[in-house]
Amino acid sequence: MGFFDKLIGGKPEADGAGGEVPEATAEQINMACAALLLEVAEADYVDDPAETEAILHALKTELNLDQAAVRALLDRARKETGGATDLFPYTHLLNQRLEREQKCAILTAMWRVAMADGVLDKYEDQVLRRITELLRLEHSDFIAAKQAARPREN
């Protein structure tokens, strides 16, 4: 079961202005996750099949989606986020709806995408640092997610 299964029925946080944040749909949350995963993969300006496979795997396992839904989500994310440089809308939504451990899980998935091609590019690292800040996570979360994403040696 993925970590987003319980989100839709949860309580939204207040928006800081005394109002309630509108309920985010599962589709919006899924799109935010897909967009961030895609941003990491595109940070090094190389379209690597290993990174694409890592995104597909993350969307399937973390969001608990079937293969057809994963492919459709990734295709939609590519169309809707093409050339986008503002990560805030995606991280803002996730900050409203996710607990710290859930944000750490998606950060770990992003690290797996960055490491999928066997090369950790400086631009991927920069994007991951920025996303960590925008998700209001600590540097220790950044390091823990990086370590958790490292391929296991036998």
pLDDT tens-digit map of 3-27: 444 343 443 444 444 444 455 688 9
pTM as predicted: 0.83
Alpha carbon 58 to chain centroid distance?
Answer: 9
Q: Give the Cα separation of 100 and 74 in Å (integer).
A: 24
The pLDDT of residue 7: 40
Could you give all domains of the chain from N- to C-terminal order, each with its CATH number?
A: 26-149 (1.10.3680.10)
Closest CA to 87 of 71, 69, 64, 110: 110
pLDDT at position 152 over 90: no
